[in-house]
Chains A and B, each alone.
Chain A
């Protein structure tokens, strides 16, 4: 059941347009005939690579605090909050800046949105990290599953705070349709995230004795869902992920990489050393993900949006296609090795049989 009877919002404010996801969403909304103005809100200038994308987008260089008046003044009918950082960026303030952006930024943006009289739609980027990580967790999370404990990862804790602010906003402005999209980790042939960098390494560290069940969502499908959430009406909370599961060892093998299993403690300390030196961004969020895995039920999403993201395996296939160099154990090589060994054994047995027959 696709409920898209109302008109798309005429004025849309998109946060985080200096990042890939925000720039893409803003540019696609600007191209939509029903949307008159798209305002990109970001404290940083978008990189020049995005200038082609953001031609029709009005850019406001401000953080959420400074923009609190702007949202009401512009007469925004929809706010799309994508300025959520999934890992600390050592070049721009690290964890402190990440928390400032995620938690304080969301708080102030929602305060501003609450004061905007014409607002009728709010779309917030969240993450499946909202389900936390515990050994007692069910294998598959539905949108109703509550986290059992406050997660130790910084991103997961930020996500819980963000969703808490959205709950408060829903209480205070019940007439505004609020959509919370809990995304699985993004992947695609060209996307650059902590996760894609991890899988692109020739040797991939994993946690000893654990083989997490992973889910991904293809970036293009995530963009489609975000676009539909703005131009159509889909209030509620939705898991966004590709159906199916890859376990970590399987994903590493499909990518043709070699994994080395480290005990959890060793991996944690190695990751923190690497972070301090400034290489790699594996944090407690990622380690929890490698230990527990995370699988979500997407039946509510497919029923409400009338759109099925490509499966986790297909999304990962696309990633592999874009990162073929660095692979050592490729399917082709293993195929050839299999045939060679089989032929070798046949030859040895044939010659042994011939020798036995001549005796």
Chain B
């Protein structure tokens, strides 16, 4: 329809509205849904190119499929000859970015429709300790948090997660965790990573957070001894509290079979409406709507000499805990329907 028809048909009496231009369709930037009132990131230059059908290209335009095949083969050759670098903790950026990140991004964008708020609170350079709430039986929230930083942060920073030693006992899982940049949650490792100016992710609730029942969702559990605070104090690294909403609904745990868990040597054995009733199908996470909020950093550089003072450490841990709990309430108010868009 023409501009004239549009005015007559839709807006009687209001002539100062313009027909939206073709380009005015908001770009899908953050999940599959536009964020109202927020500017989209600069568009990726190669994106429109990939949409073009290959047969219509003139001969001198770079052949995308050829590039992709060449890139894939080069990756395979690199892997088979061992021509890649691994850091002291076993982090393999080549593998993580080429194989795991694209798969996890599908889950992050299309399945969980993750929205990220406050990414500007994460520093562009230097160390940082991200402290989040833990939930969702399997620690998918930690994984999604690291995808969010790769996807949304202007510097595409890697998150170095600290995991329970149980993760590193289990064959295969231990090596997957190391290759994506995780390490054992202990103070020497956390401090070494922060001194190397890395972003470190920690979930002080641990299994108490992931293994809680659906009825207790979004209630922060005890924060342990606050070892993460003393590691941050010792290195003068800012603490960035993070609230994650959405992970509680992916596996709604209605019961915990404690004797079975003890038998298997795991901290809990979850029963959800679909697991173990539906077998492996019950492992498919429910498509809840996720929101991740980064809070303003808490500076610690002036507190370095108090790293061993239990009172300072405890108060700071409590402050972080309160911030996360308040953030969770805010986010839940912004997301009335856990499975909405």
Q: Give residues in A with beta carbon < 8 Å to B.
A: 135-140, 142, 145, 207-211, 213, 244-247, 249-254, 256, 264, 293, 295, 329, 331, 334-335, 337-338, 341-342, 345-346, 349, 353, 356
Q: How far is the CA of A249 from the CA of B90 in the complex (A)?
A: 12
Q: Given known contacts A245-B86, A250-B82, is B184 in contact with A139 (CB within 8 Å)?
A: yes
Task: Report B50 CB to chain A, min CB distance, Å.
Answer: 17
Whether A254 contacts B87 by the Cβ 8 Å rule is: no
Chain A positions within 8 Å of B77 at CB level: 334-335, 337-338
Q: How far is the CA of A293 from the CA of B178 in the complex (A)?
A: 12
Chain B positions within 8 Å of A346 at CB level: 66
17 pairs, A vs B, C-beta closer than 8 Å: A135-B169, A135-B174, A135-B184, A137-B184, A138-B189, A139-B192, A140-B89, A211-B90, A247-B86, A247-B92, A250-B86, A251-B82, A253-B81, A334-B80, A342-B73, A346-B66, A349-B66
Cβ-neighbour of A331 out of B76, B81, B88, B178 (below 8 A): B81
Minimum CB distance partner of A335 in chain B: B77
Chain B positions within 8 Å of A210 at CB level: 171, 174-175
Chain B positions within 8 Å of A207 at CB level: 171
Whether B80 contacts A329 by the Cβ 8 Å rule is: yes
Cβ-neighbour of B192 out of A140, A264, A338 (below 8 A): A140
Q: What 1/0 flags go to B177-207 for Cβ under 8 Å of A?
A: 0110001101011001000000000000000
Whether A140 contacts B188 by the Cβ 8 Å rule is: yes
Which residues 82-107 of B sit at the A interface, judged by CB distance below 8 A? 82-84, 86-90, 92
Q: How far is the CA of A16 from the CA of B264 in the complex (A)?
A: 49
Whether A295 contacts B188 by the Cβ 8 Å rule is: no
Whether A209 contacts B90 by the Cβ 8 Å rule is: no
Minimum CB distance partner of B175 in chain A: A211
Cβ-neighbour of B174 out of A137, A209, A249, A353 (below 8 A): A209
Chain A positions within 8 Å of B168 at CB level: 135
Whether B83 contacts A213 by the Cβ 8 Å rule is: no
Whether A254 contacts B186 by the Cβ 8 Å rule is: no
Chain B positions within 8 Å of A138 at CB level: 183-184, 186, 188-189, 192
Whether B65 contacts A349 by the Cβ 8 Å rule is: yes
Q: How far is the CA of A208 from the CA of B171 in the complex (A)?
A: 7
Task: Report A202 CB to chain B, min CB distance, Å.
Answer: 16
Q: How far is the CA of A78 from the CA of B165 in the complex (A)?
A: 44
Q: Given known contacts A209-B175, A349-B65, is B90 in contact with A139 (CB within 8 Å)?
A: yes
Chain A positions within 8 Å of B55 at CB level: 353, 356
B70 within 8 A of A: yes
Task: Report B32 CB to chain A, min CB distance, Å.
Answer: 32
Task: Report B67 CB to chain A, min CB distance, Å.
Answer: 11
Task: Report A52 CB to chain B, min CB distance, Å.
Answer: 37
Task: Report A82 CB to chain B, min CB distance, Å.
Answer: 28
Q: How far is the CA of A147 from the CA of B130 in the complex (A)?
A: 30
Name the residue among A139, A247, A353 with the largest chain B CB count within 10 angstroms: A139
Q: How far is the CA of A353 from the CA of B73 in the complex (A)?
A: 22
B172 within 8 A of A: yes
The 6 nearest A-B residue pairs measured at CB: A209-B171, A253-B82, A254-B82, A138-B188, A209-B172, A250-B82
Q: What 1/0 flags go to B265-301 for Cβ under 8 Å of A?
A: 0000000000000000000000000000000000000
Task: Report A67 CB to chain B, min CB distance, Å.
Answer: 41
Name the residue among A137, A138, A213, A346 with the largest chain B CB count within 10 angstroms: A138
Q: How far is the CA of A15 from the CA of B189 in the complex (A)?
A: 38
Whether A213 contacts B80 by the Cβ 8 Å rule is: no
Whether B189 contacts A334 by the Cβ 8 Å rule is: no
Task: Report B60 CB to chain A, min CB distance, Å.
Answer: 15
Chain A positions within 8 Å of B174 at CB level: 135, 209-210
Cβ-neighbour of B83 out of A331, A337, A341 (below 8 A): A331
Cβ-neighbour of B80 out of A246, A253, A264, A349 (below 8 A): A253
Q: How far is the CA of A295 from the CA of B192 in the complex (A)?
A: 13
Chain A positions within 8 Å of B170 at CB level: 209
Chain A positions within 8 Å of B183 at CB level: 138-139
Minimum CB distance partner of B183 in chain A: A139
Chain B positions within 8 Å of A145 at CB level: 188
Minimum CB distance partner of A356 in chain B: B55
Chain B positions within 8 Å of A244 at CB level: 88
